[in-house]
């Protein structure tokens, strides 16, 4: 693969490496309940999947909030999430196998996530996954969150790979759109939404329920 330039796999984290989106939604419900507010979990999920916490916080708690207020509220919500999800932390079936095989084929591996650093540490270090990755890009590393392509483009640049030589793994339409804007092909995991939610994206090359349904050869066809 070397002569065609560096190839890279870029993974979203939440809902892609780990099947945790239901726990994020639960933690938002609990966060709002503390403030006497009821939210419809399904509608909330549709509106917010893949977005950065600070964007969601302003959307629901008010644009007037200062950066410091948003940071503190977000830290509270994420602490609730980590407490809820900690007993269930696990990678999605086939993930570990795929990254080991990718490494053996000299594919660079990156994470590009909307998550804050505390959640990145919680997942990557909590599951001893950081050793697999050459590059980790989080919410603090980019000015604009998904659907803007910034996180994926930065991950590709740090991997030394051109966008056309990158494959993104995602579970949310907002992330697939970010990959499209970055000029990258995308594999969708249906951990979060059904396949039909991704019908309009021509950059999607595979839709699977877990990583065991993928082979390296197939991905580079």
What positions carry a catalytic annotation? 12, 14
Q: How far, in whole angstroms, is CA 217 from its chain's centroid?
A: 24
C-alpha to C-alpha distance for 210 and 156, rounded to whole angstroms:
23
C-alpha to C-alpha distance for 125 and 134, rounded to whole angstroms:
14
* Nearest by Cα to 171 from 26, 11, 25, 7: 11
> How far apart, in Å, are the Cα atoms of 91 and each of 20, 94, 95, 187, 214?
10, 8, 6, 17, 15
Looking at beta carbons, which pairs linking 20-24 to residues 24 or more positions away fall under 8 Å?
20/85, 20/88, 20/89, 20/123, 21/45, 21/49, 21/171, 21/191, 21/192, 23/81, 23/84, 23/85, 23/88, 24/81
């Amino acid at each position: 693969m070397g002569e065609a330039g560096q190839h890279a796999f870029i993974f979203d984290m939440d809902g892609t490496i780990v099947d945790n989106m239901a726990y994020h939604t639960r933690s938002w419900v609990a966060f709002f309940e503390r403030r006497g507010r009821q939210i419809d979990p399904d509608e909330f999920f549709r509106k917010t999947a893949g977005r950065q916490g600070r964007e969601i916080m302003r959307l629901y708690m008010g644009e007037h909030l200062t950066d410091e207020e948003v940071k503190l509220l977000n830290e509270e919500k994420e602490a609730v999430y980590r407490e809820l999800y900690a007993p269930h932390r696990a990678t999605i079936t086939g993930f570990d196998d795929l990254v080991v095989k990718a490494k053996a084929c000299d594919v660079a591996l990156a994470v590009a996530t909307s998550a804050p650093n505390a959640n990145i540490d919680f997942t990557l270090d909590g599951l001893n996954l950081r050793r697999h990755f050459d590059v980790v890009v989080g919410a603090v590393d980019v000015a604009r969150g998904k659907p803007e392509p910034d996180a994926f483009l930065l991950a590709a640049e740090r991997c030394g790979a051109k966008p056309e030589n990158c494959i993104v793994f995602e579970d949310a339409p907002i992330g697939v759109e970010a990959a499209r804007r970055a000029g990258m092909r995308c594999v969708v995991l249906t951990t979060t939404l059904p396949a039909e939610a991704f019908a309009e994206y021509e950059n999607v090359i595979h839709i699977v329920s877990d990583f065991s349904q993928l082979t390296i050869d197939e991905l580079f066809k």
